[in-house]
Amino acid sequence: MKRVHMVVAYDGTKYCGWQVQKNGQTIEGELNRCLTALFGEEIMVIGASRTDAGVHALCNEAVFDMSARMPAEKVSYALNQRLPEDIRVMESKEVDPLYLPRKQNTIKTYQYRITTGEVQIPTERLYTLFLRRNLEEEKMQEAAFYLIGTHDFKSFCNTHTTVESTIRTITDIKVFRKDEILVIEVSGKGFLYNMVRIIAGTLIEVGINRIAPEEVKKMLEAKDRDAAGPTAPPQGLFLYKYEHL
């Protein structure tokens, strides 16, 4: 038996998120189905990040155990022949039998992407949030500074979140333009359910001058979901990068 590590990229548009669900198609479910068919044994992957419905990823990570003799490096090629075209294994390799993606010391980076203007660019409709209002990037960046560091992010997570602690560490937030797209890039050691989308929704509220940048500090201190901004829609969110420390 050997453990195989995979880097998985996907367009999350038509999926109900990463995690297997009884009544919906998921990324994890498709990986399990195709791996089981490929190797003729029941296989269940263990993922690093449970992305939400409609969220995309360039670099999610997962492991699984197999008894087949196929070299781990060949798994990505063989599996990609079976997977739907909106899911791809970018690389695969053998790792220690006890290796678990969630237990690794990493910095995870998400990007939330926004387009603005009078008319939505059709090719971006599934991959960005479209706004007809201009955003003041400088004010968004000013507000973002209050979120950097180790804080109690209870105001910035879904009310149905069940965790022992809502304290998390954000290592950096950048607000910048890349061609026609405004990007909110959030890096940290771990995130709560909907946390990045709520951060994005809050910074958008700052960008349209609905709230002042300094109000974000008060939102953190409130430790109340109702104090922060709305949860931004999923299609603008990408799991962008993993850095192993």
- Report the CATH number that the domain containing residue 177 is assigned in CATH: 3.30.70.660
Same domain for 210 and 114: yes
Q: Does residue 78 sit in the same domain as residue 116?
A: no
Out of 69, 103, 137, pick the residue that ends a domain: 103
Structure tokens of 57?
Answer: 């990823």
Tokens of 24: 């919906």
Same-domain status, 180 and 197: yes
Residue 130 CA to residue 119 CA, distance in Å, equals 9
Residue 161 pLDDT more than 90?
no
Residues 113 and 141 in one domain: yes
Residue 62: per-residue pLDDT: 98
**Shared-domain flag, residues 64 and 159:** no
Active-site entry in 11, 52, 96, 179? 52
With beta carbons less than 8 A apart as the criterion, state whether 170 and 148 touch: yes
Q: Is 11 a catalytic residue?
A: no
* 240 vs 159, residue with greater confidence: 240
Q: Confirm if 165 and 156 have CB atoms less than 8 A apart.
A: no
pLDDT-above-90 percentage for the chain = 94
Where on the phi/psi map is residue 55: left (φ > 0), alpha (ψ -120 to 50), or beta?
Answer: beta
Q: Is the pLDDT of residue 22 over 90?
A: no
Range of the domain at 211: 106-244
What is the signed CA dihedral for 151, 155, 104, 164, rounded to 10 degrees?
Answer: 100
| 199 and 162 both lie in a single domain | yes
Q: How far is CA 162 from CA 54, 165, 187, 193, in A?
A: 22, 9, 22, 9
Instruction: Output the domain CATH number for residue 44.
Output: 3.30.70.580
Spatial CA neighbour of 134 closest among 244, 53, 209, 64: 209
pLDDT reported for residue 179 = 86
For the stretch 52-80, pLDDT in tens is 999 999 999 999 999 999 999 999 999 99
Last residue of a domain, one of 87, 103, 119: 103
28 close to 16: Cβ distance less than 8 angstroms = no
Same domain, 148 and 114: yes
- Give the whole-angstrom CA distance, residue 102 versus residue 27: 17
In this structure, the answer to whether residues 56 and 128 fall within a common structural domain is no
CA distance 184 to 111: 6
- What domain count does the chain have? 2
Asked if pLDDT for residue 180 goes beyond 90, the answer is: no
